[in-house]
């Protein structure tokens, strides 16, 4: 894990939040490459779960919502973790994460009685007569409060879903394991509305969809865990967690739950607005059930980094590289002139770079340092292809005129390819 964290900082993926002030626990900032990787994950998700389907609608709800939303959803009363405080050093811990529930893991002091700690960040909205609100702890509620708007605007037939990607905030008692447990996170959630008596079958279909997603991320060690009733969230009739083998142990990557009609029914009571669905075919009115696959962006990103981090030996030298799937890699290809001080090589390399950039916006041009070093730099950030323009490209060997070397990140092998064939080769 330390190696991954250090690579992430060194190569501009992830930095500690507020670092120059000593950091703020549970917050992380994303540099140019981390942001690109994160955006690729989010775009892939949106493509798979929204644009490639006909039964999905998007929404982008406000992070701040009326306080009442969180009362009605049950979050003000139940969104809490057990907290214990050490009577000696006053440090606080999450009780269910401690191996020894009596002794402080830091100083060995006696731990007090656990109490429930609500994880929502409270805030005041307005300058006068301010009302209490919360930074949303899940994006899902912004979907439920827009259920009626979506039905009225688009008249979808059941089953259909509403998807949202956005920030959520949780005042975790002990944020830890790099970006695994953070206080400011991003979720990608689907609330899929189904006829109540069809929820089991729809749940299984979503289970399959999630398996496909995990494959797209290139993750191998994923386990499906049926969550026992006593461990499920207050709204859930069934939950299957997808867990990944992180370096610190097997832990939750994402969750799939059946939220029944819990949320819509409660919002109907709380707001007085009718949130029933009218089925045109059967002329029945009812509150749909909800299947919810809920994905954490940071946990997906961390799993992708863990899965792709590789150490090997190439040309007799040790190397570190990210074996990222090419559709996720922040940079698809790097284009190099063999020598920086040969204007004809630089000009040709820039021409190839500009040509490829039209189809692949995430290609880069690099003429810094020797070729070996450039390869290693790109390997370390997971760039699947490197393209070198050399004297043969310009026709030193006439039979190689108009060809370049295309190097494969994983094998380090190079082959000569015509410039016209590059677009196809990079796909």
Q: Which residues contribute to the site for ligand GAP (CB under 6 A)?
A: 138, 140, 170, 172, 181-182, 185, 187, 189, 252, 254-255, 292, 294-296, 298-299
Backbone angles phi, psi at 295, to 5 degrees: -115, 135
Q: Name which of 252 and 276 has its Cβ closer to ligand GAP.
A: 252
User: Least distance in Å: CB of 153 to ligand GAP?
Assistant: 23
Residue whose Cβ sits closest to ligand GAP: 296
* Number of Cβ atoms within 10 Å of the Cβ of 198: 15
Q: For ligand GAP, which is the closer residue by CB, 166 or 325?
A: 166
**Smallest distance from ligand GAP to CB 311, Å:** 27
- Comparison of 14 and 185: residue with beta carbon closer to ligand GAP: 185
Minimum distance, C-beta of residue 179 to ligand GAP, in the bound complex (Å) = 7
Q: Which is nearer to ligand GAP, 151 or 290 (CB)?
A: 290
What spatial distance separates the first Cα and last Cα of the chain, rounded to whole Å?
31
User: Cα dihedral angle (145, 148, 150, 153), rounded to 10 degrees?
Assistant: -140
Cβ closer to ligand GAP: 172 or 380? 172
Which of residues 181 and 332 has its CB atom nearest to ligand GAP in the complex?
Answer: 181
Complex with ligand GAP: residue 302 or 335, whichever CB lies closer: 302
To the nearest 10 degrees (0 to 180), the angle between helices 32-46 and 297-308 is: 110
Decide whether 117 or 360 has the Cβ nearer to ligand GAP. Answer: 117
Cα separation of 163 and 366, whole Å?
A: 39
Of the pair 170, 407, the CB lying nearest ligand GAP is at 170
> What is the smallest separation between the CB atom of 187 and ligand GAP, expressed in angstroms?
5
Compute the half-sphere exposure of residue 222: CA atoms within 13 Å on the CB side of its CA.
24
d(CA 287, CA 226): 26
Considering beta carbons, is residue 123 or 174 the nearer one to ligand GAP?
174
Q: Any bridge partners for residue 16, and if so which?
A: 28
State the minimum distance, in angstroms, from the CB of residue 9 to ligand GAP: 19
CB of 55 to ligand GAP, least distance (A): 20
We find the least distance from the C-beta atom of residue 381 to ligand GAP, in angstroms, to be 23
CB of 20 to ligand GAP, least distance (A): 23
Query: Least CB distance from residue 245 to ligand GAP, whole Å?
Result: 15
Nearer of residues 236 and 383 to ligand GAP, judged by Cβ: 236
Q: Are 162 and 61 in contact (CB under 8 A)?
A: no
CB of 41 to ligand GAP, least distance (A): 12
Query: Smallest distance from the beta carbon of 376 to ligand GAP, in angstroms?
Result: 32
């Amino acid at each position: 894990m330390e190696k991954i964290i250090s690579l992430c900082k060194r190569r501009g993926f992830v930095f500690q939040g507020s670092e120059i002030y000593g950091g703020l626990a549970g917050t992380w900032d994303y540099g140019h490459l981390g942001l690109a990787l994160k955006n690729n994950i989010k775009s892939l998700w949106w493509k798979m779960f929204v644009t490639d389907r006909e039964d999905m609608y998007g929404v982008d709800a406000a992070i701040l919502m009326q306080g009442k939303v969180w009362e009605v959803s049950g979050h003000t009363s139940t969104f809490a973790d057990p907290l214990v405080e050490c009577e000696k050093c006053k440090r606080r811990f999450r009780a269910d994460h401690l191996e020894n529930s009596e002794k402080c893991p830091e100083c060995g002091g006696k731990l007090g009685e656990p109490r429930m700690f609500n994880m929502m960040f409270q805030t005041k909205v307005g300058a006068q007569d301010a009302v209490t609100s919360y930074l949303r702890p899940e994006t899902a509620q912004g979907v439920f409060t827009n259920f009626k708007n979506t039905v009225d605007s688009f008249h979808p037939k059941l089953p259909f879903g509403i998807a949202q990607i956005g920030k959520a905030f949780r005042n975790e008692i002990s944020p830890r394991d790099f970006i695994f447990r953070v206080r400011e996170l991003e979720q990608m959630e689907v609330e899929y509305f189904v006829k109540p008596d069809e929820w089991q079958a729809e749940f299984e279909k979503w289970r399959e969809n999630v398996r496909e997603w995990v494959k797209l991320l290139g993750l191998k060690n994923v386990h499906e865990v049926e969550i026992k009733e006593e461990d499920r969230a207050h709204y859930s009739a069934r939950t299957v967690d997808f867990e990944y083998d992180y370096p610190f142990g097997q832990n939750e990557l994402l969750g799939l739950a059946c939220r029944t009609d819990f949320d819509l029914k409660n919002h109907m009571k709380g707001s007085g607005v009718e949130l029933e669905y009218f089925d045109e075919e059967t002329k029945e009115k009812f509150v749909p059930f909800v299947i919810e696959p809920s994905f954490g962006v940071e946990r997906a990103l961390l799993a992708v980094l863990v899965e792709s981090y590789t150490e090997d030996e190439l040309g007799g030298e040790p190397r570190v590289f990210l074996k990222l799937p090419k559709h996720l890699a922040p940079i698809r290809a790097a284009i190099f002139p063999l020598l920086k001080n040969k204007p004809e090589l630089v000009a040709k390399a820039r021409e190839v770079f500009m040509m490829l950039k039209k189809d692949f916006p995430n290609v880069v041009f690099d003429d810094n340092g020797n070729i070996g070093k450039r390869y290693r730099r790109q390997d370390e950030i997971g760039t699947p292809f490197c393209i070198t323009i050399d004297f043969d490209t310009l026709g030193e060997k006439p039979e190689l005129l108009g060809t370049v070397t295309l190097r494969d990140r994983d094998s380090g092998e190079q082959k000569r390819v015509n410039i016209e064939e590059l677009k196809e080769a990079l796909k």
